[in-house]
Structure 1
């Protein structure tokens, strides 16, 4: 009995080693151990939302007499790396590995169980072996009673038969698993040859360098004239009819936190979700309790701080999330508050903070300018107003507004049938009336903000959190400079 037990122990040890290799070593070899090789097609748009329109679309419309090339670029919601054939094959391999690991775990448990049974019957088999030897040497000693005892012992050993049959089945399964391992090894070798001589770390560094170059290119293409807004993409339905939600407009792309502020007045509770997926599922969040309540929904998160309008005042507040403290607060001189000059939907939306490629802005109005929208550049450190523009557009006639590349875009309504109706260009202090369709799916928008890092519009629409992609028209010189 000693030799068979040693063989069974060797099988257990071998299966344990193979299972350990499957679960620990192989994921790191194929780059699926939790470290992302690529964060979606652009360096800034990493963990946002799946869309069938993942590729860049660039349309050349004309060439001006001075040599300028007039182009339209549609920024993708997510790059095409996620659809890479290699990634798909690696996922298939990983599924095979998981199946093999699970099968080996079953074999391991079953073999251990049967081994315990064999060990428990080892003494019985040794005793039976001695009785058989004695019976063979002296048949006279095998009387009727001894024969019956021997027969009973044999009956006790009958359950070993299915155990042995199971071992035969397990042996065939092990042969099959070994064949699967060989196939996986061949597939991995082929992938390694296709990837070339670069190891995983070097490939990751090359991807990061490519992302940095692509980001630099996007920064050049980032500013342009808004010509279109995509259909809405609903991320979540939660909260009351009015509120705001956002991601940071300036932090590195690896920071995918989402902030959520339900309601439009007297609120102090800000939820910080770790990732967009956590926001969708409503899990893994921390709560910030603001020292001063907010008014309206025109809040923005910029470089780790929340900028918002203090309730019942025209005071701007900068709250730092990490230190959980107010860093600075300052009054916007003459700015209306408490529904003096809100958007058409009301909701104490007198003061609206925004961020675009040029920095921090405040949109509001005063008695002095007869209720027309004022756009002010604001120093994010001191909240001091750097420069202001009077757009001439009455704020009470606006549904909502947002800034892109120094241009204020205004919707004509917060209800169904809204469109982007007015644009004010701060670089030239001029304006024009526009007619850009804007699908107001849930018929009551109470928050609309542009995020320059992700190049999408964030919207709170009747208790739904929604995003829109944007189309920008660019003027690019033939030298490659804007």
Structure 2
């Protein structure tokens, strides 16, 4: 078999001089070998695509730009000649101006004493007129130069139109190319994300402080089931004695305090562990173990159901209290409720809920005391529990509903403002939303993923 570079070299030469890639091909920077094979004589045959910089579609534009450049250069030379001539003629004009002033003075003398008019005066006058004679062609040349300047102005106007047209055409081409690249990258990213299986939490970084508002306790959230264009934020201040939900069209509106809508719920909520999922708000009705589903679209309660045996009203809260007995949350797998029961000795119970009916689909009993938990959140069907709501908190325990097994962990979480009263994972944003002592914050999470290859089922 011949060396690969021997075959590549002539192919590269041909690609540079005669190959125009199809509009549907978007090769990356640098040379690309798309395929290689061996022919009947044992030679390596490769398909090579030249870099994008040699796209043939740019040839017409390059030719126009070259012609434009030549025209401007010729124009610059003509203007330089005109400038030199003007400087020379200006010296003539200055000299003739002085002579004309002398001639005017002579006329005044003659006019004041006509009787003394002598032949000598006529001779002097004639001499002055002869000296002024060269001024006539100079002035004629100025007329020609003025015409030339007008011509230059017209050419410049035409060149400007051509240049703007080329600029717009090239600009449109570059924007279109850029847009195609962005779409291509988005497609590649989407394909990559689709290959990501549910990951294991490895690290929490942040927080980023989005806003400082409200009381020490509260909740804020976005809908993980919403479309990418829907970035509404919902805000619920305090852990009880409140029924007002504030809606913002975007995070920027939330930061600026520009409300788009306000909802007055029919029942007070308990705690701060609410969740918005697929256009509905799920929350724990005050002084009960009832879960309420409130539709933002219809503005009314669509479903409410008691969570059997769940403790409520500060029987099994998180370490900070605040009627945080029942924690509602969502992840990649659906809607969940975290709570404790007497039957499980006050330890945490995980229940997966039907979003429509709020019925319990399945439950798992853990051995972690609800009262010893600072906060908790679900990622890919695994519950992660922090050991405190104060400074020094860390993710200490996890329980996998897939394997029904638990694990002790040691993942620090920076409690910047010393008191965490809400911590929930958003599967769309792949981030933790937190209410940190009157500060609305975001944490980034690092997950360990297993990438599915194309040949895997």
In 2, Cα distance between equivalents of 1:456 and 1:380: 22
d(CA) in 2 for partners of 1:182 and 1:269?
Answer: 61
Structure-1 residue corresponding to 2:305: 330
Residue 362 of structure 1 pairs with residue 371 of structure 2: no
Query: Which residue number in structure 2 is paired with residue 254 of structure 1?
Result: 229
- Summarize the Cα distance change of 1:278–1:481 in structure 2 as closer, same or farther, 3 Å threshold: farther
- Cα shift at 1:267: 1.3
1:406–1:480 distance in 2 versus 1, CA, 3 Å: farther
The aligned counterpart of 1:227 is 202
Q: Distance in 2 between matches of 1:211 and 1:221?
A: 15
**SS, match of residue 413 in structure 1:** coil
1:231 Cα shift?
1.6
Tell me whether 1:191 sits opposite 2:171 in the alignment: yes
Decide whether the 8 Å contact of 1:379 with 1:385 is kept in 2. yes
- CA contact under 8 A between 1:447 and 1:461: conserved in structure 2? yes
Where does residue 327 of structure 2 map in the other structure?
A: 352
For the structure 1 residues 179 and 407, does the alpha-carbon distance in structure 2 shift closer, same or farther, using more than 3 Å as the test? farther
Q: Residue 279 of structure 1 is aligned with which of 243, 254, 260?
A: 254
- Higher RCO, Cα 8 Å, sep 6+: 1
Distance of 1:235 and 1:480 partners within structure 2: 42
Q: 1:210 to 1:429 in 2, by over 3 A?
A: same
Q: Does 1:420 align with 2:380?
A: no
The higher radius of gyration belongs to: 2
> What is the aligned residue count?
303
Name the structure 1 match of 2:268: 293
* 1:305 pairs with 2:280: yes
TM-score by length of 2: 0.62
The reply on whether 1:474 has 2:427 as its aligned counterpart is: no
- CA 1:481–1:188 in 2, change beyond 3 Å: closer, same or farther? farther
CA RMSD of aligned residues (A): 2.6
Distance 1:434 1:286, change over 3 A: same
Q: Distance in 2 between matches of 1:191 and 1:328?
A: 55
Indicate which of 400, 411, 420 corresponds to 1:436. 411
8 Å contact from structure 1 (residues 366, 372) kept in 2 = yes
Matching residue within 351, 358, 361 for 1:376: 351
2:22 aligns with none
SS at match of 1:476: coil
Distance, in Å, in 1 between the alignment partners of 2:242 and 2:396 is 31
Correspondence 1:41-120 to 2 at 5 A: none
Deviation at residue 210 of structure 1 after TM alignment: 5.9
The answer as to 2:214 corresponding to 1:239 is: yes
What's the counterpart of residue 217 of structure 1? 192
- Counterpart CA distance in 1 for 2:328 and 2:170 is 53
Q: Is the 8 A contact 1:220 1:481 kept in 2?
A: no
Q: Identify the residue that residue 340 of structure 1 maps to in structure 2.
A: 315
The answer to whether 1:266 aligns with 2:241 is: yes
- Given the superposition, is the C-alpha separation of residues 189 and 317 from structure 1 closer, same or farther in structure 2, using an over 3 Å criterion? same
Partner residue, 2:52: none
CA displacement 1:187-236 (0-9 Å, x = unmatched): 4433333356x7x9xx58x8568646633531432510000011210000
- Residue 254 of structure 1 deviates from its aligned partner by 0.5
Partner SS for 1:232:
strand
TM-score scaled by length of structure 1: 0.59
Partner Cα separation in structure 2 for residue 181 and residue 273 of structure 1? 47
Distance 2:455 2:371 in 1: 42
| 1: CA distance, partners of 2:448 / 2:318 | 28
Helix, strand or coil for the counterpart of 2:171? Answer: helix
Query: What's the CA shift string for 1:376-420, capped at 9, x where partnerless?
Result: 000000000000001110011110000000000011100011111
